[in-house]
Structure formats: structure tokens, C-alpha cells
């Protein structure tokens, strides 16, 4: 039912999925950035997800095989995603895509990339406006690793809390000597903690998400040497939840999926609130029995999960509503 085409856009591999049947009108275009902590994952691994979206939404989907860290250094992943996005936006007519119906999305770190790209594109006046962003269990901040979801799901597969820190260091190709200090939030200056508490705090998380056990984290002393070693994780391109309101209020309509058994759950909840507080329309789906990375199993028969199918069907419903 689909035509697929692999090509390279300035050395960035992409795969384009197009429905075989002729379009009755211009189609939606979906850019998809896969998860994998910026260090693994591939177009092939998320082929089933992209095929499903293309078929069920009668859309043209471009899956971006951004080059992986640490071999391809940070922030090359964002730049690869941006390169592919600019190509798609400038050539959408070639694929019978309506420039007013371009959606940018991804899962996990891919959702992080999608968030950053949507923020960057606000300054590109010569391009079509993004119609919507689709963020599937996004990781959006590295300021606080003691939010309720980090505590509750610290030992829940497949993304443990310590594994998040490990991937941050691997992604940035840093020595891992300060991992334990970062886990305790010693990398954040007091000035930043104070400035961003209004956006990133357990106090903002609704109480129903704290009943599985949450203990307020005691403040830990700031260690300048730890901050210096890993300061990139507090940049907007790594932690887009830290973007100013002047940026957030310009963002397109958004769809956010959170999973209950996911250390990154609260990142999605906090971004949802920020978007809504800034007048951005948000459609939210909370998968109550799902875990982080569940879409990697989507479409694999007996290895697939009902929760993954529900996430994909809700995502398709949102895209079709645009």
C-alpha cells in the first residue's frame, strides 16, 4: 500500500513513505525522528511506526536517520534533523504535501529533537508554519532527576534513572566520573534552580501522579566542577523545557503522550502545562500501563503491547483531526 524511497539529504539518510493510491487532494506531511538516546536506533527500527502513520493518515512520512553520537558529535543530531526538515518543507509540493499541514514528531529523544526543531523554526519566516508537534513520551529537561516519575520509576525497565544519566554522558561523549553527582542534581547552580522552579518542580505535578510514592528531594550542594563537566545538558537544545515563554507561546498545536511507568513521564506533564499556560492547544494521552520505549515493540506480533497499539491509534486520530 506504500511507496518507500531512501535518499540522503546532505549526508543525512531519510526514508519517505507515500500511499500508492493517487491523492484526491494535497496530503499531510509528517516528519518523524526516532528514539534511542541519540546513540542508537534507526529508520529500520521504527519502520512499522512510520508505515502505520502513512497508511492510517493517508500522509507522506519522512523518517530521519540522523547520525548517532558519540561518533557523530552533539549537537549534530539536531542539525541533521533540521537539515531533513528544511529539505522536506522546501520540497513538499514534490510529494503532494500541503505546506499548511506539516507535522513534526518523534518518540523519546526524537520527541526532544522535534521540540527543539519546532522552537528553532519559529525564526524561519521564509518557511511554512508547522501545523502541529507530536511528542511521544518526550525527554525535555536535565535540570531535575528527582521529579516524582524519576523516583517512582527509577528501577522500571527499559529506561532506569541511572541509565538516563549514563546516556546523557555517552551522548555528549563525556567522562562518566560525575554521574552520581548529576544524579543528585549537583550540576545545577542555585540561580538556575530558583529561576526555573516555576517551570520544573515536583510542586507542579498533579497530586494523582504522586500517590505511588514520592518523597521531596532534599537540596544538594552545587558543585561547580560538575556543572563545568556537563553544562551542555542545561542548554535549550538539550533541555527545551527551559525555553522562555516568548518562545513557548508561539508554538503550534501539540499532542503529548506520557506513560505511567516512565522516568520521563513528568517531563511531558510539565511541558503540557507550560504550553497550556501559554495558550497553546494541547491534546494529551496518558498510557496508564505503558513503559518508556514501548513503541519499539509496536507491530511485532506477540511481542507487541496493547498499550503501544492504543498510543498509535490515538496518535493517528490526532493527526487525522488536523
- Find the catalytic residue in 34, 80, 107, 108: 108
pLDDT in the model for residue 180? 96
H/E element, 52? helix 47-56
DSSP 8-state class, residue 145:
S
* Residue 9: pLDDT over 90: yes
Active site residue 292: yes
Active site residue 108: yes
* Residue 298: pLDDT over 90: yes
d(CA 56, CA 30): 12
H/E element, 118? helix 109-121
Residues in Cβ contact with 13 at an 8 Å cutoff, skipping those fewer than 6 apart: 6, 7, 43, 64, 65
Q: What is the mean pLDDT of residues 188-217?
A: 95
- Find the catalytic residue in 34, 254, 292, 307: 292
CB-based contact 137:9 (threshold 8 Å): no
Percent of the chain with pLDDT over 70: 100
pLDDT in the model for residue 22? 86
pLDDT in the model for residue 11? 95
Stated length of the chain: 322
Residues in Cβ contact with 236 at an 8 Å cutoff, skipping those fewer than 6 apart: 116, 119, 242, 243
156-180, pLDDT tens digit by residue? Answer: 999 999 999 999 999 999 999 999 9
pLDDT-derived band at 24, boundaries 50, 70, 90: confident
94-127, pLDDT tens digit by residue? Answer: 999 999 999 999 999 999 999 999 999 998 989 9
d(CA 225, CA 229): 6
pLDDT in the model for residue 149? 98
pLDDT in the model for residue 105? 98
CB-based contact 34:42 (threshold 8 Å): yes
pLDDT in the model for residue 213? 85
Active site residue 72: no
Please report, for the chain, the start and end positions of each structural domain, with discontinuous segments joined by +: 2-143+239-321
Alpha-carbon distance values, 129 to 4, 26, 132, 299 (Å): 26, 16, 9, 32
223-256, pLDDT tens digit by residue? Answer: 999 999 999 999 999 999 999 999 999 999 999 9
Residues in Cβ contact with 118 at an 8 Å cutoff, skipping those fewer than 6 apart: 104, 130, 133, 251, 252
Alpha-carbon distance values, 224 to 81, 228, 230 (Å): 32, 6, 10
pLDDT-derived band at 304, boundaries 50, 70, 90: confident
What would you measure as the largest C-alpha separation in the chain, in angstroms?
62
pLDDT in the model for residue 303? 82
Q: What is the CA radius of gyration of the chain?
A: 19
- Find the catalytic residue in 181, 262, 266, 267: 262
Q: What is the CATH number of domain 2-143+239-321?
A: 3.40.50.1820
pLDDT-derived band at 219, boundaries 50, 70, 90: confident
d(CA 237, CA 233): 8
DSSP 8-state class, residue 209:
G
pLDDT in the model for residue 301? 85
Give the strands of the sheet with 2-9, arranged side by side: 2-9, 12-19, 60-64, 27-33, 97-107, 132-136, 253-261, 282-291
Amino acid at each position: 500500500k506504500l511507496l518507500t524511497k531512501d535518499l540522503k539529504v546532505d549526508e543525512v539518510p531519510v526514508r519517505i513513505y507515500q500511499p500508492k493510491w493517487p491523492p484526491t487532494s494535497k496530503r499531510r506531511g509528517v516528519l518523524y525522528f526516532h528514539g534511542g538516546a541519540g546513540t542508537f536506533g534507526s529508520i529500520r527500527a521504527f519502520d512499522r511506526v512510520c508505515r502505520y502513520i502513512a497508511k492510517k493518515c493517508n500522509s507522506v512520512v519522512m523518517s530521519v536517520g540522523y547520525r548517532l553520537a558519540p561518533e557523530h558529535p552533539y549537537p549534530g543530531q539536531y542539525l541533521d534533523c533540521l537539515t531533513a526538515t528544511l529539505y522536506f518543507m522546501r520540497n513538499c509540493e514534490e510529494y503532494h504535501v500541503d505546506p499548511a499541514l506539516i507535522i513534526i514528531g518523534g518518540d523519546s529523544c526524537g520527541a526532544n529533537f522535534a521540540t527543539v526543531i519546532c522552537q528553532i523554526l519559529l525564526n524561519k519566516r521564509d518557511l511554512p508554519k508547522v501545523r502541529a508537534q507530536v511528542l511521544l513520551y518526550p525527554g525535555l529537561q536535565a535540570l531535575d532527576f528527582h521529579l516524582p516519575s524519576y523516583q517512582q520509576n527509577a528501577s522500571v525497565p527499559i529506561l532506569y534513572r541511572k541509565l538516563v544519566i549514563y546516556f546523557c554522558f555517552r551522548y555528549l561523549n563525556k567522562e562518566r566520573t560525575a554521574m552520581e553527582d548529576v544524579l543528585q542534581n549537583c550540576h545545577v547552580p542555585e540561580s538556575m534552580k530558583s529561576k526555573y522552579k516555576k517551570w520544573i518542580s515536583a510542586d507542579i505535578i498533579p497530586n494523582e501522579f504522586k500517590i505511588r510514592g514520592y518523597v521531596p528531594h532534599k537540596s544538594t550542594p552545587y558543585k561547580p566542577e560538575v556543572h563545568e563537566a556537563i553544562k551542555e545538558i542545561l542548554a535549550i537544545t538539550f533541555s527545551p523545557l527551559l525555553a522562555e515563554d516568548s518562545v513557548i507561546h508561539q508554538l503550534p498545536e501539540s499532542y503529548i503522550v506520557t506513560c505511567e511507568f516512565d522516568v520521563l513521564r513528568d517531563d511531558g506533564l510539565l511541558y503540557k502545562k507550560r504550553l497550556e499556560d501559554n495558550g497553546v492547544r494541547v491534546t494529551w494521552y496518558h498510557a496508564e500501563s505503558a513503559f518508556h520505549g514501548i513503541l519499539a515493540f509496536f507491530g511485532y506480533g506477540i511481542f507487541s503491547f496493547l498499550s503501544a497499539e492504543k498510543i498509535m491509534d490515538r496518535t493517528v486520530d490526532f493527526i487525522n483531526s488536523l
